[in-house]
Structure 1
Amino acid sequence: MTVEEFEEFYARTVARLTGQLYVMLGDLYEAQDVVQEAFVKAWNRRGQLDRDGRPEAWIRTVAWRLAVSRWRFRRRTADAWRRSGAPPHVEGPGPEQVALVDALRELPAQQRRTLALHYLCDLTVEQIAGETSLSASTVKTHLARGRASLAHRLQEPRIEEEAPGA
């Protein structure tokens, strides 16, 4: 099947196949998704589709099998959640974490990356230099500037005490 023939086949059959899978599955979005995925798989074997003589049946069968695989995956996932119980409750970030994230967002991207690699990933200056293709002195500069910038941004605002009687 040539590219033009495949495009014509797609245009002629996609709506019909989607409708058929919709009836089989009861979910239009799932039907659209599995039919599209089946056509992608068919594209890679369009030469064989022509020899088989039933390309529409092949698409329909592949789409159905994709849907069944998804159902099985969802069922196994749901079973695993039931066996393990609900995930533990995790508290949201506190004001300090929110302030830190906001301050980090204001840093230049390379400083932010360098700080994350050093403090979160526990990489040495030399390891960061190797991973980022920066010189060790540039990494040190980014660390120093990033720390200074964070210190400035994270300072507690000072409340001016009013003079008595003012």
Structure 2
Amino acid sequence: MKETTGTAVRGIAARTEADTGREAAVAELFEIHHLPLVRLAVLLGADDAEDVVAEAFYQLYRRWPRLRSPEAAATYLRSVVVNLTRMRIRHLQVVRKHAARSGDDHAYVASGEERAVLRDDQKALVDAVRALPARQREALVLRFWLDLRESEIADAMGITAGSVKVHVSRGMAALSRVLEERR
């Protein structure tokens, strides 16, 4: 009986030590990546960027033991932010479609996070980026805002590197057309 109790105590101590290591690693990642991830979510069109990033860190914390390696955590966070933003935008589109049908027409109102992150001189570009299809917008933001390689963008978006090239190319062409029209 005493041996079983000792084994159980050692197992609890090992789990407590692992949890402490996980908490420290996630806290360090939070310090480094929180603001860039909020900016990423805003640029991808999230109206609740802070909530998206908080959910991403929660998912990282829950899935920490299943990560390939601690170095994969930043890539995982970006991927979760992209996917959560995509899901929330789809949800908002459905809500707005139903609101429009019922005659309840609400205009888009920028969140405080968006207004704090964006300066006036960036608004024209951000408006043009927002007008892009979701996949093109995501590919451009990941490529030029976060300066990720095609393989990293493909991982974050869940597509092939060739598809990334297509989305970036089409997005750049569309942005060029829109910005030329504004001149």
Q: Please tell me the TM-score bracket, short chain as reference.
A: 0.3 to 0.5
For normalisation by structure 1, the TM-score amounts to 0.44
For normalisation by structure 2, the TM-score amounts to 0.40
Computing the radius of gyration over CA atoms, which structure comes out larger, 1 or 2? 1
Q: Structure with the greater relative contact order (CA < 8 A, sep ≥ 6): 1 or 2?
A: 2
If each structure's helix is expressed as a fraction of its own residues, which one has the higher value? 2
